[in-house]
């Protein structure tokens, strides 16, 4: 295709758009703080120092497209479990939650 813009300009515009989108996503996730959600646990992550986290997603987070929910101190949770959580923090793409008692 002729009359294409410079690759550098394309790259710059891409990064500008991604920064704007990250801000929008963070605002949306911050609105979820202090709410409850049901999460499907997909993975248990261990850091080698005894700290464990469950990684999962809500029904409104598409796999491999949207962010994840990270649950500290997941207890006996395992992949495939559904758990009710309380969202305590939100970032551009991910949420932090704790198991709701």
β-sheet bridge partners, residue 87: 97
Q: Is residue 33 part of a domain?
A: yes
Instruction: Report yes or no on 1 lying in a domain.
Output: no
Mean pLDDT of 38-58: 93
Q: Is residue 2 part of a domain?
A: no
CA distance 75 to 30: 26
Give the global pTM.
Answer: 0.82
Note the pLDDT tens digit of each residue in 67-77.
999 999 899 99
**CA pseudo-torsion sign 59, 60, 63, 67:** negative
In a domain, 73, yes or no: yes
Residue 14, pLDDT score: 95
Domain membership of residue 43 (yes or no) is yes
36: enclosing H helix or E strand:
strand 36-46
| pLDDT given at position 64 | 84
The residue segments making up the domain with residue 82 are: 7-99
Report the number of distinct structural domains present in the chain.
1
* pLDDT over threshold 80, residue 24: yes
- Residue 81: which CATH number? 2.40.50.140
């Amino acid at each position: 295709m002729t009359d294409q813009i410079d690759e550098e300009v394309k790259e710059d515009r891409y990064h500008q758009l991604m920064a704007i989108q990250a801000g929008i996503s963070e605002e949306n996730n911050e609105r979820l703080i202090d709410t409850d959600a049901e999460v499907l646990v997909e993975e248990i992550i261990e850091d080698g120092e005894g700290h464990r986290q469950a990684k999962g997603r809500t029904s409104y987070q598409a796999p491999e497209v949207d962010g994840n929910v990270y649950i500290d101190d997941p207890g006996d949770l395992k992949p495939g479990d559904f758990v009710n959580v309380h969202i305590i923090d939100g970032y551009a793409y991910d949420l932090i939650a704790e198991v709701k008692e």
